[in-house]
């Protein structure tokens, strides 16, 4: 909620900004819904949207980190 309010305030103040989202893909479809929400929010604000997806679970398995 904090990020949504901050973006709204930045838009109202006339700042030139974009929205970035990191999808760590740890919560299945919930992670994808979060990404879709942020993408739609950026469209509503008419600001650039940037996304990076991480294969977090795969990385943890390769590095032998236990998933929590």
Q: Does the pLDDT at position 20 exceed 90? A: yes
DSSP single-letter state for residue 27: S
In this prediction, residue 68 carries a pLDDT of 59
Q: Does the pLDDT at position 60 exceed 80? A: yes
Q: Does the pLDDT at position 66 exceed 80? A: no
In this prediction, residue 54 carries a pLDDT of 95
Phi and psi dihedrals of 13, rounded to 5? -80, -10
Alpha helices (runs of H) in 1-68, residue ranges in sequence order? 2-13, 29-45, 56-62
pLDDT digits (tens, 9 = 90+) for 23-40: 999 999 999 999 999 999
CA angle 51, 8, 40 (to 5 degrees): 40
Single pTM value for the model: 0.80
């Amino acid at each position: 909620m904090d990020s949504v309010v901050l973006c709204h305030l930045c838009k109202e103040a006339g700042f030139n900004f974009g929205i970035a989202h990191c999808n760590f893909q740890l919560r299945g479809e919930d992670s994808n819904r979060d990404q879709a929400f942020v993408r739609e929010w950026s469209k509503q604000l008419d600001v650039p949207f940037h996304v990076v997806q991480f294969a977090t679970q795969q990385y943890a398995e390769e590095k032998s980190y236990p998933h929590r």
